[in-house]
Structure 1
């Protein structure tokens, strides 16, 4: 399952970067992940009332949190693929369950 997600995120990321003239080097993967974690934190703060919510409803804020979490997951998978990480093995080793 992770392999398929990695392939899908890789294709989407490659197409996005090509369309916008962005280069992806090893640092880009880590820095983009950090950027997305910041956006997830901002979404959390808005949802929890620790930042300005604007005119957004609680449902809209929750959807934004989900969207940002999806971005973080995608960029973790992109980073792992770019560095040849074996996430299956790491999950089994660290979380002690098999996938």
Structure 2
């Protein structure tokens, strides 16, 4: 869990930096300073991280809601998600 959190933080941190850099590279006459760059970067980072965590939670929860035996073969990728393993562990306990 800790490794996934670190990866998500780093991924969204670098992604938001690249997005902010792309926006600021074409700012053409804006009267802005470095403080506004950092505020833009952090705002985009928090937004991206929130979206990443929401997607991660939704994808893990859906992997335990639907019975795999009744799902088409395409949806069996959810076997690889950690929530399914925890659910099976709790059922066995």
Normalised by the length of structure 2, the TM-score is 0.37
Flag the structure with more relative contact order, 1 or 2, with Cα contacts below 8 A and sequence separation at least 6: 1
* Higher helix proportion: 2
| Greater Rg by CA | 2
